[in-house]
Amino acid sequence: MKIFLLEDDTSLNKIIKLSLENKGFFVENFFDGYEAANIILNNRYDLYILDVNVLGFDGHKILEIIRNENINTPVIMISAEIDIENIKKSFNLGCNDYIKKPFDFEELFLRIQYHLSYKKEQNSNMNIELGYNFTFNLLEEKLYKHNHEIELTVKEKLLLTLFVKNINKSVTNEMIHEYVWDSKEMESVSMRSIIHKLKKKLKNGMIINLRGVGYKLISIE
């Protein structure tokens, strides 16, 4: 799962990022609201964590941008603010949860799990049958064949999640770059390399090349 984190406290930002990455999440972290606003308009995430008081656009403004773009992705606000009017504003703007600082990181993890689980239950069946006895669990991001798990790297999980969410539809190279890579990182491992490795873990022909466009995951009935 890909998580967007906005927190201007450098130490707390890095601790949250590391804690969630240790739990298996892919975290793209930001310290400034202006930078965050530009990234949100061109990328999609599975969950947003927004600090209310940050430089540039504050967390409430970023939340407004997310909802104005008709993005229904879960949003968790974090803040040292205890004023009820501030909390009320967050929920009125469309946040899904509000955590007061300081908080236990295990609590944050549990809340993230809840919101991602609820989202999947609302949107689709978590276990997606891909054919040839392959099943992919969208919530856990785990691939199975004959009920035996096939190990995936973090980027392979992100890539397969993107394919499964767009099963039998074309996935462009731009979509892959936006979803699989941190917008601030260089592509250290090539897209073709990851796709090649993922193809080897699936049956030949399930992922097809679309010349000049991208790729497509074919579900076999």
CA 192, 29, 2, 149 torsion-angle sign: positive
Distance of alpha carbon 156 from alpha carbon 220, whole angstroms: 20
- In the predicted model, is pLDDT for residue 118 greater than 70? no
Distance of alpha carbon 221 from alpha carbon 210, whole angstroms: 21
- 125-156 pLDDT tens trace: 578 888 888 999 887 788 999 889 999 998 89
Confidence at residue 185, expressed as pLDDT on a 0 to 100 scale: 57
- 19-59 pLDDT tens trace: 999 988 889 999 999 888 888 877 888 899 999 999 888 99
Confidence at residue 188, expressed as pLDDT on a 0 to 100 scale: 52
Distance of alpha carbon 168 from alpha carbon 19, whole angstroms: 35
